């Protein structure tokens, strides 16, 4: 009994392959629709964002032996505390005031678009990346964050002789950093193709109609003795011909009126 149930629920991989191959035009059509909808949505409703980055170096002005022995402590402070201070309301709020951005952004919005990173194998070089809807303002924001941070960070350090030195100034980016229209369109097309294939396979699995002689032998385990083909008789052909002429005559009369 268990073997029979297994046989009934067995999925023929080759049949599914040829099924998907036969329905390939549907899969491609759905993928193109998903891609077109996603592309149109991005172009019409998504605001492009531009990202500019500036960097600076944090160090201690070594004037005595105590400062010379505090390098490890300041390294730990930079990696843990300084990113939080830079994204604080004191720094970003002052940046908004200095650039006059109060009418077009808020602290929360700006904070979510500011990112602090460290280059590989470096703990004293900090990169400030700012994303904004206008490329020139993105660069101005990144540069202003560095300027304001150089004034604010020493007040939160246990070392009075901390030195913050700008390295690279941000420049207005030529192209938006997000959204990635090409990547999102490709992802949407892939999702559309997968969904279309899944729907086709599910419909196939739940379709219990027998369309071929092989289906009778496979699912009912019966031998087919013979097949009676459908033959259209002369009477049926005559009926179809008369029905066609009658419908055409009625359509002509309706058009004439």
Distance CA 56, CA 82 (A): 12
Let me know: does 28 contact 196? Beta carbons within 8 Å: no
Cα distance between residue 172 and residue 89, in whole Å: 24
Residue 207: what pLDDT? Answer: 73
List, for residues 66-77, the tens digit of each pLDDT value.
554 555 556 666
Report whether pLDDT(225) > 50.
yes
Using pLDDT thresholds of 50, 70 and 90, give the confidence band for residue 251.
low
Q: What token pair was written down for 217?
A: 């032998």
Mean pLDDT of the region 155-162: 68
Q: 210 vs 192, 204, 213, 217, 219, CA distance in Å? A: 30, 12, 8, 10, 9
Domain-wise residue ranges, the chain: 2-41+181-249, 50-168
Q: Which of 139, 109, 142, 107 is nearest to 126 (CA)?
A: 142
Q: CB under 8 Å to 137, separation ≥6 — which residues?
A: 99, 101
CATH of 50-168, one of 3.40.50.2000, 3.30.70.1130, 3.40.50.2300, 3.40.140.10: 3.30.70.1130
pTM above the 0.75 mark? no
- Mean pLDDT over 219-240 rounds to 63
Dist. CA 60–CA 52, nearest whole Å:
27
177 close to 51: Cβ distance less than 8 angstroms: yes
| pLDDT: which is higher, 156 or 42 | 42
Alpha-carbon Rg for the chain, nearest whole angstrom, is: 36
């Amino acid at each position: 009994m268990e073997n029979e149930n297994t046989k009934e629920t067995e999925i023929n991989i080759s049949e599914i392959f040829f099924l998907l191959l036969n329905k390939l035009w549907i899969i491609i059509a759905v993928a193109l629709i998903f891609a077109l909808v996603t592309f149109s949505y991005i172009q019409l409703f998504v605001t492009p964002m531009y990202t500019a980055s500036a960097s600076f170096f944090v160090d201690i002005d070594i004037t005595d032996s105590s400062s010379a022995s505090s390098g490890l402590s300041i390294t730990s402070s930079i990696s843990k505390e300084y990113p939080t201070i830079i994204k604080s309301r004191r720094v970003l709020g002052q940046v908004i005031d200095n650039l006059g951005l109060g009418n077009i952004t808020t602290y929360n919005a700006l904070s979510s678009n500011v990112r602090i990173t460290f280059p590989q194998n470096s703990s004293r070089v900090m990169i400030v990346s700012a994303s904004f809807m206008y490329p020139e303002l993105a660069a101005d924001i990144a540069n202003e964050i560095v300027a304001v941070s150089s004034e604010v960070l020493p007040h939160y350090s246990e070392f009075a002789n901390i030195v913050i030195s700008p390295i690279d100034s941000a420049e207005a980016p030529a192209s938006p950093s997000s959204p990635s229209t090409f990547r999102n369109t490709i992802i949407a097309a892939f999702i559309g193709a997968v969904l279309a294939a899944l729907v086709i396979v599910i419909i196939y699995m739940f379709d219990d109609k027998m369309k071929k002689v092989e289906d009778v032998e496979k699912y009912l385990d019966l031998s087919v003795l013979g097949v009676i083909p459908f033959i259209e008789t002369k009477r049926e052909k005559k009926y179809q011909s008369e029905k066609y002429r009658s419908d055409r005559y009625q359509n002509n009369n309706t058009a004439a009126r």
